[in-house]
Amino acid sequence: MTASKTSTTRRLALTAFAAALATGFAMPQALAQEKVTYLFPAPPILPAFAPLQLAKGKGYFKDAGLDVDFQVARGGVEVAKMVGAGNAPIGGIVGDGPIMVRANGVPVKIVALFGGKGFMQTVVREDSGIEKPADLKGKTLTVLSFQDTTFYALIGLLASVGLTQNDVNVQQAGPTGVWESVATGKSQGMAGVPDWLALVQATGTKVRVIPTDQFFPHLAQGIAVSDEMIKKNPEMIQKFVTAAMRGMKDVMDNPDQAAADFVKFVPTWQGKEDVVKNALNYYAKHVYVDQKKLGEINPERLAKLQDFYLEKGFIQKKTPVDELYSNQFIK
């Protein structure tokens, strides 16, 4: 073989070797993407779920080695039941969810919270004459439903000033009626979340917010897994929580930019960017705060909430607090 042919052969061999290396390294990376289904309690297009949409859209889940698929259930109780039964590996429920379902044998825990404050706020019309919780007496308020966490938080707010549900005309109005009733004046206020507050404001209705968290220790949205999943696949949970907290930090650091990114990933909101921007600014300033570490669950707050639910008959028995949550994935 001539020197020229030898040189050519070597070049071809090296090229083939380099290609094989490139292919060899690329394939394990592709295979390393673990498929995970995340179950939402409501449509994932809501601004409340911005941290997760950002984590997916900006590649945080992918960076962590996860290929995340979003699916929707019919409310937090169904999410908890499906996660607890192993029909979904991970899902979203309000932080009080395990209090409600573990007493009925559903083995789920909260492993991260999207904020240290409760996400339910009492929103009232400025022309309602309501300035403080005691002023709610005799007024008409809307709630999503009588089985929703926002309703329980409203009962807690009323109890903090010696009022009960009988002192207020509480109407369950569904996911649209709950805020439209405030905008049209059919109700003087609502037990709502920042998403609904922003929708009311978008109609031009003047409202004020009674920060429910100052009177009643309710909780934010959380990430739930089963006891079995914690034992079987803690690595996946760790990756998911870490990526989700990156998404929440983006909202905290720059809610306006986070809103723009969210609309890019969820184009349903195109033309309604101000609604998303107002909602995310509220979450950043009033919900995603008061955590020593992002995602951390406060067991004392959880215990107080459980005591209140037992007192009011929302649950029939208590669960040991350490069975309701785990902070092992909070870094």
Cβ partners under 8 Å of residue 290, min gap 6: 115, 116, 117
Ranges of the chain whose pLDDT falls below 50: 1-30
* Amino acid symbol at 82: M
Per-residue pLDDT tens over the stretch 62-111: 999 999 999 999 888 899 999 999 999 999 999 999 999 998 899 999 99
Report the distance separating Cα 188 and Cα 142, nearest Å: 8
DSSP 8-state class, residue 307: H
Q: Strands, DSSP E only, in the chain?
A: 34-40, 66-72, 90-94, 108-113, 121-125, 140-143, 169-172, 189-192, 207-210, 221-226
Q: β-pairing, 140-143 with 169-172?
A: parallel
Q: What is the pLDDT of residue 217?
A: 84
Nearest partner of 153 among 47, 46, 312, 281, judged by Cα: 312
Report the distance separating Cα 221 and Cα 110, nearest Å: 10
Query: Quick one: 64 exposed, middle or buried, by C-beta within 10 A (0-12, 13-18, 19+)?
Result: buried
pTM comes to: 0.86
